[in-house]
Amino acid sequence: METVDKRHYTYTFSKVQQDFDFKFEAAGFKSAEYEIEIVNRPSLAFFDVNLNYPNYLNKPNESMKNVGNLTVPEGTAIDWDFNVTDTDSIVMVFEGDGKRYYAEKKLLGGGFDLSRRVKTSGTYKVFLKNQYASNSDGISFFLNVVPDKHPQLSLEQYKDSTLYNFMVLGGNIADDYGISKLAIFYKVLRDGKPSTQNYASINLPINPTQTIQSFYKQWNLDSLKLSPADKIEYFVQVWDNDGVNGAKSTRSQVMNYAVPDKREIDKEIDNSIDKAEAQIEKTLEKAQKLRKEIAALESRLKNKKELDFQDKKVAEELIKKKEELMNEIKQMQEQNQNLNEKQQRFNEQKPENQQKMDALQKMMNELMDPEAQKMYDELKKMLEQNPEDNKMLEQMERIKNKEKNAEKELERMKELFKKLQLDQNMDKAIKELENQAEKEEKLAEKNEQTEKKPDNSAEKQKENEANKKEQEKLSKEFDDLKKDLKEAEKMNEEMKNSEKMDMDKEQQEDISEDQKDSEKQMDKGDNKSASEKQKRAARKMRNLAQKLAAAKQQQESKQNEENMDDLRDILENLVTVSFDQERLMKDFRGINPSDPRFIKLSQDQIKLQDDAKVIEDSLYALSKRVLQIETFVTREMNNMKDHMTDAVKLIKERKLAMTTSKQQFAMTSMNNLALLLSDVLKQMQQNQQMMAGSGSGKGKSKGKQKSMGEAQKELNEQMGKTMQKGSKGQGGISEQLAKMAREQAALRKMLQGFLDSSKGTEKGRKLGDEIKDMMKKMEETETDLVNKRINPEMMKRQQELLTRLLESEKAMKEQEEDQKRKAETARQAFERKAPPQFQQYVKDKQKQTELLRTVPPNLNPYYKRQVDNYFKQIN
């Protein structure tokens, strides 16, 4: 031992590892034994960590050994299971918490357990302690808690700038764990004014388990009934599936989809009219150029025995130019269709104008003639097979005639298009005059109310200023209307064979003067005088509207009378030519080419051909004014002309058998043409009667026209009453029976008319036999009535006839409605066709779906994230 002083000594036991005894000994003396007992510090042997992830992650729980530094999703419940020695307690402290968490001692095994749901990152420490010691610095670990991020949203859009009827929204949405909802929120601001209404919503389909996905919505806005100057305020919002803090959302910026005001819409329509007219002109020019080049090649081939390389090359170029022309025709169809739909959408259309629009569109669609395409296909084959020169020449002639007819149709469309636009502009101007008159009257009433307010009051001054601004706006609108009337007058002057229209410019200037005077009176504060001027302007507007409408109707009526007279002349000449052709055909049968009469008959055939040319020119001129003359009418005319031309050629070649055949074909075409033109004349007469009725000033509607079923039911009832009178011996029924026979005959003719009009159609095929049988029954009834045979047996037949007629009418109606639905569906499909860049979103979604089928559902999160990133790249 080391001496400290005379009385104190020290000794140090180094590195004591176990218990031991010791005693002191000095100068022969020994002390008692002392014991040193070793006390162990608390010790952590090992520990397990059990990670229980939130349910919404759909992630399997995990267990780890001796891993203290952890990275876990927010909301994970962590269970620490400590295995220790010489430890009485365990305390855990989490950074930023300030609390001490005591682990619970297990009843079995002597370990400690602590569970906690974590939401924030930070260092945490584990402190072990027993009655003798503790690890004062603790054991440090880092806990990295990954929060559930907000969802991501990218948005692209396409807005319909033609009809303002739909919008396409597309883009991508993403979240670290999944999407729970995606929706569009919107509200309509009428006339662009702020709205206090709540947002309505439209939910969009999503895949909740896919973390990155695209979306696509073609939003039909028809149900919102948007008018000019209306606006939609909207945004897109996406929610994640956060099961810990509640679903979080991200939304796009608030966007607007505005329908232009009426003035802008009118400008757009005018622009569409200019484009459509320019496209018709462009297509016509290309058709004329193609026809001239075909004629040039035909002329060139007449002087050659066989085709050379240059001839083939020119023919191939013509085929290419025909394809280019077809593309121009398609563009013309689409532009006219767009124009029609825009005019229907924003301008109220009269039924007769709507019919003209439909007829003109139909004419354009019929320009895509399959027969013409077949001729070009045959020409292409000929060029590949080195044809004989005469066959090539014949084919070129057929194609030239076909193109000449197409050129005529385009010239006709050009004139009809201009006439239709003039009619629509006049109708629109007349309607606008009536609307402006109503606005002036309402403003006059406001001025009268303002006049009653106390002078120099703030309220009166405010109202007077508002009324003045309103009058300035109305004056500007009337100035625009005067420009429209001037443009309509110019269009009318450019029309062929049109009469001058009196737009009453003096009346127009009087209206403008009254409007200006009303503004001056309001400046002076004289609202009463201003109101009188406004009322006078309104009366003049209504007067001008009536005058223009009457002038337009009178001009149309006069033009229709002239057109009907022209058509009657054409029909009369056509019938004459038909009889002459029939006579000639009989004369040519059995005649010998050496017969002296042969030359005279040949000359007669040539004269008939010249007469037919006059009819053709007259019909073509008339067709430029009459839309009811459809394309198949002019095609039948061309068939007649072709047969007569062939007949003349065959006469020159002395092929008489074939000549009479062509004459027969020509006569058949004449008869068909006569029937078609007779129908057109009937339609024109009906239209003229309707115009006369509407312009008579009576203003009384004749009511809804009875259906055939209703008319037959009334007739049956009359028959039943007449039969009862006869059984009671009452006289005077002969005249009644004759009248009923005439009425039954009229119904039978109506059925015959339906049968004729539906020939070749699906409706005609389905109901043809049934209608023929009903007509036979009606004819039996007419015979019975004429012969005064009215009895219970006939009445039974009439009741059966009524039942069948009602069923047939129902079938006709259902079929017409189905056709209308199909037409409307086709129209909507056309007007709502999304642009190619947005259609790509649909393809991307389909691609994702197909690829997901190959991805195992049990991939761990890392690989799932790689798949999602891949989808993001292809999008």
User: DSSP string of 544-588?
Assistant: HHHHHHHHHHHHHHHHHHHHHHHHHHHHHHHHHHHHHHHHHHHHH
Higher model confidence: residue 824 or residue 147? Answer: 147
Given this model, what pLDDT does residue 458 score? 83
Distances (CA, A) of 529 to 116, 291, 375, 759: 86, 67, 75, 67
Higher model confidence: residue 855 or residue 817? Answer: 817
Given this model, what pLDDT does residue 494 score? 84
- Number of domains the chain contains: 6
- Confirm whether 351 is domain-assigned: yes
Given this model, what pLDDT does residue 187 score? 95
DSSP code for 132: S
Q: Which of 146, 166, 196 is the last residue of a domain?
A: 146
Given this model, what pLDDT does residue 34 score? 92
| pLDDT per position as a tens digit, 247-271 | 999 999 999 999 999 889 999 999 9
Q: Which of 311-325, 335-349, 748-762 has the lowest mean pLDDT?
A: 748-762
| pLDDT per position as a tens digit, 568-589 | 999 999 999 999 999 998 888 8
Q: Are residue 27 and residue 96 in the same domain, yes or no?
A: no
Nearest Cα residue to 686 out of 355, 348, 344: 355
Q: Are residue 239 and residue 269 in the same domain, yes or no?
A: no
> Which residue reads 């999160």 in tokens?
861
CA distance 489 to 484: 9
Given this model, what pLDDT does residue 252 score? 96
Given this model, what pLDDT does residue 546 score? 93
CATH of the domain at 649: 1.20.120.660
Q: Are residue 295 and residue 359 in the same domain, yes or no?
A: yes
pLDDT beyond 80 at 159: yes
> Which residue reads 């002296």 in tokens?
596
Q: Are residue 622 and residue 679 in the same domain, yes or no?
A: yes
- Write the CB contacts of 47 (distance below 8 Å, at least 6 apart in sequence): 65, 66, 68, 80, 81, 82, 83
pLDDT beyond 80 at 696: no
Beta bridge partners of 238: 182, 250
Given this model, what pLDDT does residue 543 score? 94
Band (pLDDT 50/70/90 cuts) for residue 306 is confident
Nearest Cα residue to 346 out of 480, 220, 228: 228
CA distance 54 to 77: 8
Q: Which of 537-541, 701-705, 718-722 has the lowest mean pLDDT?
A: 701-705
DSSP code for 707: P
Higher model confidence: residue 396 or residue 750? Answer: 396
- Confirm whether 545 is domain-assigned: no
Q: Are residue 480 and residue 331 in the same domain, yes or no?
A: yes
Nearest Cα residue to 86 out of 131, 125, 46: 131
| pLDDT per position as a tens digit, 637-681 | 888 998 999 999 999 888 888 988 999 999 888 888 888 888 888
Three-state secondary structure call for residue 84: strand
Given this model, what pLDDT does residue 830 score? 42
Q: Which of 66-80, 259-273, 430-444, 683-697 has the lowest mean pLDDT?
A: 683-697
CA distance 538 to 785: 61
Rounded mean pLDDT of 339-349?
A: 89
| pLDDT per position as a tens digit, 52-70 | 999 999 899 999 999 999 9
- Write the CB contacts of 99 (distance below 8 Å, at least 6 apart in sequence): 93
Pairing of the two strands 249-251 and 231-240: antiparallel
Band (pLDDT 50/70/90 cuts) for residue 857 is very low
Q: Are residue 299 and residue 422 in the same domain, yes or no?
A: yes
Rounded mean pLDDT of 347-375?
A: 87
Given this model, what pLDDT does residue 760 score? 56
| pLDDT per position as a tens digit, 758-785 | 665 666 677 778 888 888 888 888 888 8
pLDDT beyond 80 at 307: no
Q: Are residue 138 and residue 184 in the same domain, yes or no?
A: no
Beta bridge partners of 115: 79
pTM score: 0.67
Three-state secondary structure call for residue 750: helix
Given this model, what pLDDT does residue 705 score? 52
- Confirm whether 734 is domain-assigned: no
Three-state secondary structure call for residue 139: strand
Considering the chain, what percentage of its residues have pLDDT values greater than 90?
Answer: 43
Backbone angles phi, psi at 497, to 5 degrees: 60, 30
- Write the CB contacts of 258 (distance below 8 Å, at least 6 apart in sequence): 192, 229, 230, 231, 232
Given this model, what pLDDT does residue 613 score? 92
Q: Are 56 and 65 in contact (CB under 8 A)?
A: no
Given this model, what pLDDT does residue 515 score? 93
| pLDDT per position as a tens digit, 479-538 | 999 999 999 999 888 887 777 888 899 999 999 999 999 999 988 888 899 999 999 999
Q: Are 800 and 755 in contact (CB under 8 A)?
A: no
Considering the chain, what percentage of its residues have pLDDT values greater than 70?
Answer: 89
Distances (CA, A) of 9 to 5, 25, 521: 7, 12, 128
Rounded mean pLDDT of 464-470?
A: 90
Which domain range does residue 761 map to?
A: 739-831
Q: Which of 104, 130, 146 is the last residue of a domain?
A: 146
- Confirm whether 528 is domain-assigned: no
Q: Are 229 and 192 in contact (CB under 8 A)?
A: yes
What is the average pLDDT score of the chain? 86
Distances (CA, A) of 387 to 57, 321, 583, 753: 76, 21, 39, 48
Given this model, what pLDDT does residue 62 score? 96
- Confirm whether 529 is domain-assigned: no
Higher model confidence: residue 236 or residue 367? Answer: 236
CATH of the domain at 433: 1.20.120
Given this model, what pLDDT does residue 11 score? 92
- Confirm whether 230 is domain-assigned: yes
Q: Are residue 309 and residue 390 in the same domain, yes or no?
A: yes
Q: Are 31 and 23 in contact (CB under 8 A)?
A: yes
CA distance 783 to 741: 8
CA distance 563 to 629: 11
CATH of the domain at 220: 2.60.40.2060
Rounded mean pLDDT of 475-482?
A: 93
CA distance 839 to 826: 18
pLDDT beyond 90 at 209: no
Q: 317-329: string of b/e by CB count within 10 Å (b at 16+)?
A: ebeeebeebbebb
Band (pLDDT 50/70/90 cuts) for residue 351 is confident
Given this model, what pLDDT does residue 866 score? 64
Q: 83-94: string of b/e by CB count within 10 Å (b at 16+)?
A: ebeebebbbbbb
Q: Are residue 848 and residue 803 in the same domain, yes or no?
A: no
Three-state secondary structure call for residue 630: coil
pLDDT beyond 80 at 25: yes
CA distance 234 to 205: 18
Q: Are residue 113 and residue 23 in the same domain, yes or no?
A: no
CA distance 614 to 565: 16
- Confirm whether 609 is domain-assigned: yes
Q: Are residue 505 and residue 484 in the same domain, yes or no?
A: yes
- Write the CB contacts of 622 (distance below 8 Å, at least 6 apart in sequence): 563, 566, 567, 570, 629
Distances (CA, A) of 637 to 119, 550, 604, 611: 88, 36, 20, 13
Q: Are residue 572 and residue 673 in the same domain, yes or no?
A: yes
Cα 585 from chain centre: 55
H or E element, residue 719: helix 708-727
Band (pLDDT 50/70/90 cuts) for residue 113 is very high
CA distance 845 to 535: 62
- Confirm whether 702 is domain-assigned: no
pLDDT beyond 60 at 848: no
Token pair, residue 373, equals 């395409």
Considering 19-28, 472-481, 738-747, the range whose residues carry the highest mean pLDDT is 472-481
Q: Are 170 and 217 in contact (CB under 8 A)?
A: yes
Q: Which of 106, 129, 146 is the last residue of a domain?
A: 146
